[in-house]
Amino acid sequence: MSNERETEIVTADSGTVAMLARGEIDMQIATAHKYPRSIVNFRNEVLQMVTLNEQIAGECIYALPRDGKTIEGPSARFAEVIASAWGNSRAGARVVSDQGEFVTAQGVFHDLQRNVAITYEVQRRIVDKNGRRFKPDMIGVTANAACSIALRNAILKGVPKAFWSEMYESARRTVMGDIKTLANRRAEALAVFQRYGVQPGRVFAKLGVAGEQDITLEHLVVLRGIVTAIKDGDTTAEQAFSDEATSQPPSRPTPPTWTDADFAPQAERWAKAVAAGSKTADEILTLARSKGALTPEQEAQIKAFKKAPAADVTDVQPKGDAPAPQPATAGADDGDLPWND
């Protein structure tokens, strides 16, 4: 008699899985309608959680440098608090594509009580500046960060902003503190960035201040948001404090120098305009400099342009003098003249 047993493998078809998932969702919807949420309780619970202490409040804010500016907003941790307190909902995120130069993640938020579903997709680049694809481990890290961002966006779109914006501002105020705690929080913020290898000078340059004493309460919120973004993988310390992020926009390129061949005909027209009074030499100089660089000789020539003097008119009858006697008209009788009386 053989001790071998035959094992039958049972697999569920797609229809069965769909029925199970549908039944699970229907049960959750029924429960949500039986125990509806309270907006008042939601607001109170969120406010208590995000303002519990400075560390929790700081994790509710992120800040990222973009094109010379710093973008601030609610973080993934804040979205987690919102989803937890909102209740009667389902949320999740997944990678839908990792082909080509980007990984695409999709976040989903389903309000079971109101039967409203929100999906939000986020793309993150998975190639370096030379076009080389990241290694598998780095692609996984990037995909996780994309999923976190997609989930955050879906939750904050699914729960109306009017219900949580006030709590976000309360978290910002908790991070700010007040004037009494400002000095200590300045030192703590600089110490945190030093652990990431960022020296105080780079922090000052990022904020556009001269030194530690110039850091304000609003600056503390930005710094705390940058720390949260670094921890969540949205950016790195090098990217947040890179020269590109803190430098001023590039200046306009220097215009070409005026050549003698180009300057001569223009100078003739400019001289006529100044002589006619329609332009001044200073206006012509500004115009010429905007078109190209001038040589010292060319500038001297423009400065020598003068307005033509007005035509001289001789006053044949100065003011205050009596009018000259008029000669007698032809044919007049001498006896009619007054001095003959």
pTM over 0.85: no
If one compares 182 and 58, the residue with the highest pLDDT of the two is: 58
Other Cβ atoms less than 10 A from the Cβ of 298: the count is 20
Do the domain assignments include residue 28?
Answer: yes
Q: Do 266 and 236 belong together in one domain? A: no
Of the listed ranges 100-109, 190-199, 320-329, the one predicted with least confidence: 320-329
Report the run of H or E that residue 302 belongs to, with start and end. helix 296-303
Angle at 62 between CA 233 and CA 176, to 5 degrees: 140
What does the chain come to in residues?
A: 341
Do the domain assignments include residue 254?
Answer: no
Q: Do 41 and 160 belong together in one domain? A: yes
Give the integer Cα–Cα distance in Å for 273 and 306: 10
Q: Do 269 and 234 belong together in one domain? A: no
Q: Do 93 and 59 belong together in one domain? A: yes
Give the integer Cα–Cα distance in Å for 187 and 103: 39
Q: Confirm if 84 and 264 have CB atoms less than 8 A apart.
A: no
Q: Do 150 and 298 belong together in one domain? A: no
69-74 and 61-66 beta bridge pairing: antiparallel
Q: What is the DSSP letter of 95?
A: E
Do the domain assignments include residue 150?
Answer: yes
Q: Do 79 and 126 belong together in one domain? A: yes
Report the run of H or E that residue 2 belongs to, with start and end. none
Q: Tens of pLDDT along 191-207? A: 999 988 889 998 998 88
pLDDT mean across residues, the chain:
81
> In the predicted model, is pLDDT for residue 337 greater than 70?
no
Of the listed ranges 216-225, 241-250, 287-296, 321-330, the one predicted with least confidence: 321-330
Do the domain assignments include residue 39?
Answer: yes
Give the integer Cα–Cα distance in Å for 57 and 92: 23
Q: Tens of pLDDT along 216-264? A: 988 889 999 999 988 887 788 888 887 544 444 444 555 677 888 888 8
Amino acid identity of residue 38, one-letter, is S
Rounded to an integer, the average pLDDT of 113-120 is 93
Do the domain assignments include residue 325?
Answer: no
Report the run of H or E that residue 210 belongs to, with start and end. none
Q: Do 152 and 275 belong together in one domain? A: no
Query: Is residue 76 classed exposed, middle or buried when 0-12, 13-18 and 19+ CB atoms within 10 A define those classes?
Result: buried
Q: Do 140 and 29 belong together in one domain? A: yes
Q: State whether residue 145 is helix, strand or coil.
A: helix
Do the domain assignments include residue 319?
Answer: no
Do the domain assignments include residue 182?
Answer: no
Cα–Cα distances in Å, from 62 out to 24, 141, 224, 244, 260?
35, 19, 7, 20, 57
Range of the domain at 72: 15-175+226-246
Q: Do 82 and 26 belong together in one domain? A: yes
Number of domains in the chain: 2
Q: Which two tokens stand for residue 121?
A: 């997709």
Q: Which two tokens stand for residue 4?
A: 């071998």
Q: Do 29 and 98 belong together in one domain? A: yes
What values do phi and psi take at 266, rounded to 5?
A: -65, -40
Give the integer Cα–Cα distance in Å for 228 and 240: 12
Of the listed ranges 54-63, 209-218, 252-261, the one predicted with least confidence: 252-261
